Structure 1
């Protein structure tokens, strides 16, 4: 059995202004603070002698590779993303950046915000614009019933409220 996996689908290039600022801040923090600190520690570990048995040297090399990989990803992603200015539509229609309150068939409500793939945070209720729920919601209005195909099966939600105000 092989370990090969098909490449994942490319995510949408959309991002909110806040998400873009967070990615830039992460890049700056890694580039200006974290990477120089790791390079200094790596140089100090290399100066200790035999590198093949030096655990600190091996660890710092691995850490530097991980930082460089993340910096490469952030560089490419920041060039690719398109910042979407979120404007309240006033029509109660779901678009990128919207906060959407949904009620399921049992009457339980959930609140989601539709954001870019780099901003998803399940703890805050932020879902990717590429997710099945977000795809089903886009373009719909308050009061509409929406069928969503989830891993557990097809579910129906009612759109209770759509807003573009900051998190409440």
Structure 2
């Protein structure tokens, strides 16, 4: 199971999605289902079938978001984190070959649709926790063992 941590920005984004689904999208799809049902034979009515399926998807996502938001712990920036890698940090690393990467260590619910976020549960994030600038980081994955160096640590305040 994913660690139930989330940044303040990620939590607000999930709350906005929940609100949008509940107040905007669900009422519109419900209206379309009602309209399509009034046309008669539902078994051959593509509008009815599609919108009924979409309504189930919305309801499933609403249930997930409500349950997930209740179980998440929001982690805000604290000045004691400065200089070390902790949850919510933007980290820049460099390999021995000169390849650089920059990403934010975030919660499981925040990494989707973001190529610059990694999960706190990933091998890279686990290896980086509590490291400082210029520290060597050894990351063990199924693909092998990789060595990186921390070049920069930033926090959104």
| TM-score normalised by L of structure 2 | 0.94
TM-superposed CA distance for 1:125, in Å, is 1.1
Q: Which residue of 1 aligns with 2:72?
A: 81
TM-superposed CA distance for 1:152, in Å, is 2.6
Q: Which residue of 2 aligns with 1:65?
A: 56
Q: Which residue of 1 aligns with 2:111?
A: 120
CA RMSD of aligned residues (A): 1.5
Q: Which residue of 1 aligns with 2:90?
A: 99
Residue-pair matches, total = 157
SS for the counterpart of 2:77 is coil
Q: 8 Å contact 1:15–1:83 — kept in the other structure? A: yes
Q: 8 Å contact 1:15–1:116 — kept in the other structure? A: yes
Please, which of 109, 120, 131 is the counterpart of residue 140 of structure 1? 131
CA distance in 2, matches of 1:164, 1:51: 54
Instruction: Identify if the C-alpha distance between structure 1 residues 122 and 67 changes in structure 2 by more than 3 Å, giving closer, same or farther.
Output: closer
CA distance in 1, matches of 2:111, 2:139: 19
SS for the counterpart of 2:32 is helix
Unaligned runs of 5+ in 1: 1-9
Q: Which residue of 1 aligns with 2:16?
A: 25
SS for the counterpart of 1:161 is strand
Instruction: Identify if the C-alpha distance between structure 1 residues 88 and 110 changes in structure 2 by more than 3 Å, giving closer, same or farther.
Output: farther
SS for the counterpart of 1:52 is coil
CA distance in 1, matches of 2:81, 2:10: 23
Instruction: Identify if the C-alpha distance between structure 1 residues 90 and 23 changes in structure 2 by more than 3 Å, giving closer, same or farther.
Output: closer
Instruction: Identify if the C-alpha distance between structure 1 residues 107 and 121 changes in structure 2 by more than 3 Å, giving closer, same or farther.
Output: farther
Unaligned runs of 5+ in 2: none
Please, which of 145, 148, 154 is the counterpart of residue 154 of structure 1? 145
CA distance in 2, matches of 1:56, 1:115: 39
CA distance in 2, matches of 1:135, 1:41: 47
